[in-house]
Amino acid sequence: MATNNIQPPVYQYGVKELIDLLWERKLLIILVTLLFSISSVIYSINIENTYKSEVLLESARNSEGSLGQSAAQLGQLASLAGFSIPGAGQDSTTTDLALLESRIFISQFIEKNKLLIPLFAANSWDANENNLLLDNETYNSSNKEWVRKVKPPYNSKPSKLEAIELFKDNFEVQHDKMTGLILISFEFYSPYFAKELLDNVVQQFNLYVKTKEIALINANISYLEKQAEQIQNTGMKSVFYSLLEEQQKKIMLASSSDEYVFRVIDPAVIPEKKFAPKRAIICVLGTFLGFFLSIVVILFIRLFKG
């Protein structure tokens, strides 16, 4: 009497059974793997190159020497006197980096440098003409009109929050707490644009903080001068004059240097080699994904067929 050749379920297959099953379906594996491999090559070719420019900085505040030390020592006295000394008793580098990546500075930087169109509408770079090429479905350069199609609550023209988020996607700040060095980078289609943007970030941030703190110091000086005239106590009068001298030193320091917050160690350069995409890695991963999925499909088919 003949016996039926009943195969065990796929989850009970051993190594030999799995190899035999895959070998029977080798044509499907080859075709699916080849399809994914070709698709990954086409995809990687169509991705535009991006370039990353970097600038290495150090905190200019950390080199203030005795001036910075005396500011920290007088910080508590200043608080008792009713005002604050910028940076006194604080980790100024941490605060400065937080301000560098803050919404308020980035928003002002984008607006001042008119970055909205490059950030959202640029989709490639013409190396021969050194021009950013814009996507006509996002921004109509002829009519100077935003035409991108988005769903509410977004509008055709990107909002400030959208611009800040996109800027931060390309902007990176790394702080080595051991050495105190700061590496700032920006990635974009145009290497010239990336380099120029970093130059502007450093220059304008130094000016931004400098202007902000000078205004506060001047307010402190005005307050101290009025208080010093009114106080009769010799000891307290001496404290106010010490604080006043400290503020005047800070004004002199701020006025004498353009690199008020960050000092450039290694300036940004125009990168010659692309940073992304990693086309070889994309092709390898695409090929591996096709091979893996083909095996999964074969096992599922065998599982449901019993």
Q: What's residue 84's pLDDT?
A: 54
How would residue 80 be classed by pLDDT, with cut points 50, 70 and 90? low
Mark whether 56 and 118 lie in a shared domain: yes
Mark whether 36 and 106 lie in a shared domain: no
Mark whether 126 and 262 lie in a shared domain: yes
CA distance 180 to 61: 11
Mark whether 133 and 266 lie in a shared domain: yes
What pLDDT, in 10s, does the model give residues 114-141?
999 999 999 999 999 999 999 999 999 9
Mark whether 162 and 98 lie in a shared domain: yes
Mark whether 144 and 20 lie in a shared domain: no
Average pLDDT of the residues of the chain: 85
The count of structural domains within the chain is: 2
What pLDDT, in 10s, does the model give residues 190-200?
999 999 999 99
Mark whether 110 and 257 lie in a shared domain: yes
Assess if residue 154 is contained within a domain: yes
What's the rounded mean pLDDT across residues 212-233? Answer: 81
The pair phi, psi for residue 261, each rounded to 5°, is: -105, -55
Which of 246, 257, 253 minimizes the C-alpha distance to 71? 246
What's the rounded mean pLDDT across residues 274-285? Answer: 92
Mark whether 143 and 37 lie in a shared domain: no
Instruction: Name 71's Cβ contacts closer than 8 Å, sequence gap at least 6.
Output: 64, 85, 87, 88, 246, 250
How would residue 70 be classed by pLDDT, with cut points 50, 70 and 90? very low
CA distance 109 to 166: 13
Percentage of the chain exceeding pLDDT 70: 85
120 within 8 A of 136, measured Cβ to Cβ: no
Q: pTM of this prediction?
A: 0.80
Mark whether 31 and 101 lie in a shared domain: no
**Given a cut of 50, is residue 15 above it in pLDDT?**
yes
Q: Which CATH number belongs to the domain containing residue 61 in this structure? A: 3.30.1890
Which of 105, 95, 101 minimizes the C-alpha distance to 208? 105
Residue 256, domain extent: 51-276
Helix (H, G, I), strand (E, B) or coil at 284: helix
**Given a cut of 90, is residue 63 above it in pLDDT?**
no
